[in-house]
């Protein structure tokens, strides 16, 4: 924590409360703790101020006219730009239903009136710590993603490949009714699946001709290297199996683990299908791009050979033919 405080000596706490009296009381408690305080007296001005002031934490009253605390909390947690700001809701003592609703709309913690300075300070401190850690992790993920994109940039034929994979794989996953958590992981994997190629020498990675057996052996290491690079980030936990297994095949002849059938994670099976389709429909040094229809036929043929999940392939063919993707 000492280190955190060194990084951010003047964390900004915003109080949102329509009662000037309570807002002022809170300010008097919080300011001596060393935080900068901003006050908004209603939900609407809070939204405006949050955009300008970018507070590190929000203390939120529930009962307010127009936009109440619940609605404000829900909006902030649903917005990519503000979702990481911790929100402490101010509830009446023993009002359980307020707490339940607060949890539902994403509140991070609760305090009750009359305020206990020590408890309030401890809660603010611990939520700020979590916020800074989350921000650091997001930054780390951004670094890894830009590394992955730098791999793509090495190969002019791969331009836009990751972006298209993200659109295809998340669209197909939605069509298949896959839970949101996995769709999110697929979007990340679309960017990150080949990050392990960073550990493969350019002489192999960019070789124009076919690879020798030994070179293949090295190339086949990239899913394992990729998993190792992303492993320290907890936010990528659901993405890791896709990175590791994106070159497995349904019939067990893939790598690195030779997994078979449904042992290959469904997310990896989805990524494979869209990856092959994208590779077939873009120009390569050794051939020009296929038409979508020809690519779908090839994909179906390969699924028939036992390479890809047949059901997923069939669904993908339907979605593409219907023009839904
Ligand atoms: Fe790969």
**CB-count burial class (<10 Å; 0-12, 13-18, 19+) for 97:** exposed
pLDDT computed for residue 142 by the predictor: 85
**Across all residues in the chain, what is the average pLDDT?**
91
Domains of the chain, by residue range, sit at: 2-134, 155-321
Residues linked to residue 193 through DSSP beta bridges, in sequence order = none
Q: Judge whether 127 and 121 are in contact, CB under 8 Å.
A: no
Q: Copy the structure tokens of residue 265.
A: 């994670």
Enumerate the active-site residues: 197
What mean pLDDT comes out for the span 142-167? 85
Q: Report the pLDDT averaged over residues 177-192.
A: 95
Q: Label residue 74 exposed, middle or buried (CB < 10 Å: 0-12, 13-18, 19+).
A: middle
Across residues 115-120, what is the average pLDDT?
A: 88
Q: Which residue, among 50, 56, 48, has the nearest Cα to 8 in the 3D structure?
A: 56
Tell me what pLDDT residue 9 has: 59
Q: Which CATH number fits domain 2-134: 3.10.560.10, 3.40.50.2300, 3.40.1010.20, 2.60.40.2550?
A: 3.40.50.2300
Residue 144 has pLDDT above 90, yes or no: no
CA of 303 to the centre of ligand 1 (A): 18
Distance 290 CA to ligand 1 centre (A): 20
Rounded Cα distance between 325 and 323, Å, is: 5
Q: Give pLDDT tens digits for 239-293.
A: 999 999 999 999 999 999 999 999 999 999 999 999 999 999 998 877 899 999 9
Instruction: Kindly state the average pLDDT of the residues 184-197.
Output: 94
Percent over 90 (pLDDT), the chain: 69
Distance from the first to the final alpha carbon of the chain: 47
> Rounded to the nearest whole angstrom, what is the distance from the C-alpha of residue 215 to the centroid of ligand 1?
15
Tell me, in angstroms, the distance from the centre of ligand 1 to residue 243's CA.
Answer: 8
User: What 3-state DSSP class applies to 181?
Assistant: helix
Q: How far apart are CA 191 and CA 268, in angstroms?
A: 13
CA 164 to centroid of ligand 1, rounded, Å: 15
For residue 223, the CA-to-ligand 1 centroid distance in Å is 6
Strand partners for 155:
none
List Cβ neighbours of 154 (8 Å cut-off, separation of 6 or more): 202, 205, 206
CB neighbours of 139 closer than 8 A, spacing ≥ 6? none
Q: Compute the average pLDDT of residues 30-58.
A: 94
Residue 92 burial (10 A CB sphere; 0-12, 13-18, 19+): exposed
Tens-digit pLDDT profile for residues 217-246: 999 999 999 999 999 888 899 999 999 999
How far, in Å, is the centroid of ligand 1 from the Cα of 178? Answer: 22
Angle of the 310-321 helix axis to the 266-280 helix axis, nearest 10: 50
Q: What's the pLDDT score for residue 93?
A: 64
Cα angle 101, 104, 106; round to 5: 115
- Cα(256) to centroid of ligand 1, in Å? 11
Does 95 or 75 have the greater pLDDT score? 75
Distance CA 259, CA 251 (A): 8
Per-residue pLDDT, 4: 41
Q: Is the pLDDT of residue 42 over 80?
A: yes
Per-residue pLDDT averaged across 185-199, rounded?
93
What pLDDT does 302 receive?
97
Q: pLDDT category, 215, cuts 50, 70, 90? A: very high
* pLDDT score recorded for residue 185: 95
- CATH node for 155-321: 1.10.3210.10
Residue 133 has pLDDT above 50, yes or no: yes
What is the pLDDT, as a whole number, of residue 214?
94
Q: What is the DSSP letter of 155?
A: -
pLDDT at 6 over 50: no
**Quick one: average pLDDT of 126-151?**
86
318: left (phi over 0), alpha (psi -120 to 50) or beta: alpha
Q: Range with the lowest mean pLDDT among 158-162, 198-202, 242-246?
A: 158-162
Cβ(276)–Cβ(264) under 8 Å? no
Q: How far is the centre of ligand 1, averaged over its atoms, from the C-alpha of 193 (Å)?
A: 6
CA angle 271, 265, 140 (to 5 degrees): 70
User: Is the confidence at residue 125, as pLDDT, over 70?
Assistant: yes
């Amino acid at each position: 924590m000492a280190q955190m405080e060194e990084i951010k000596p003047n964390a900004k706490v915003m109080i949102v409360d329509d009662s000037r009296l309570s807002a002022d009381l809170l300010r008097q408690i919080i300011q001596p703790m060393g935080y900068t305080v901003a006050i908004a007296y209603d939900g609407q001005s809070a939204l405006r101020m949050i955009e300008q002031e970018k507070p590190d934490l929000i203390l939120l009253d529930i009962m307010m006219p127009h936009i109440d605390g619940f609605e404000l909390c829900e909006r902030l947690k649903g917005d990519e730009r503000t979702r990481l700001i911790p929100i402490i809701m101010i509830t009446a003592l023993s009002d359980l239903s307020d707490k339940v609703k607060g949890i539902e709309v994403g509140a991070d913690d609760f305090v009750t009136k009359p305020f206990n300075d020590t408890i309030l300070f401890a809660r603010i401190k611990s939520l700020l710590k979590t916020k800074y850690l989350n921000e650091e992790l997001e930054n780390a993920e951004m670094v890894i993603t830009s590394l992955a994109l730098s791999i793509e940039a090495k190969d002019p034929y791969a331009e836009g490949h990751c972006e298209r994979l993200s659109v295809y794989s998340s669209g197909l996953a939605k069509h298949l009714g896959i839970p949101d958590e996995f769709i999110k992981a697929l979007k990340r994997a679309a960017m990150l699946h080949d990050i392990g190629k960073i550990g493969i020498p350019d002489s192999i990675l960019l070789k124009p001709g076919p690879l020798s057996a030994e070179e293949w052996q090295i190339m086949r290491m990239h899913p394992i290297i990729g998993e190792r690079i992303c492993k320290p980030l907890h936010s990528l936990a659901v993405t890791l199996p896709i990175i590791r297994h994106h070159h497995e095949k349904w019939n067990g002849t893939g790598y690195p683990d030779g997994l078979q059938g449904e042992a290959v994670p469904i997310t990896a099976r989805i990524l494979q299908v869209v990856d092959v389709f994208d590779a077939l429909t873009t120009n390569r040094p050794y051939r020009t791009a296929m038409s979508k229809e020809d690519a779908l036929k090839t994909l179906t043929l390969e699924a028939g050979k036992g390479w890809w999940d047949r059901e997923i392939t069939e669904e993908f063919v339907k979605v593409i033919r219907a023009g839904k993707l």
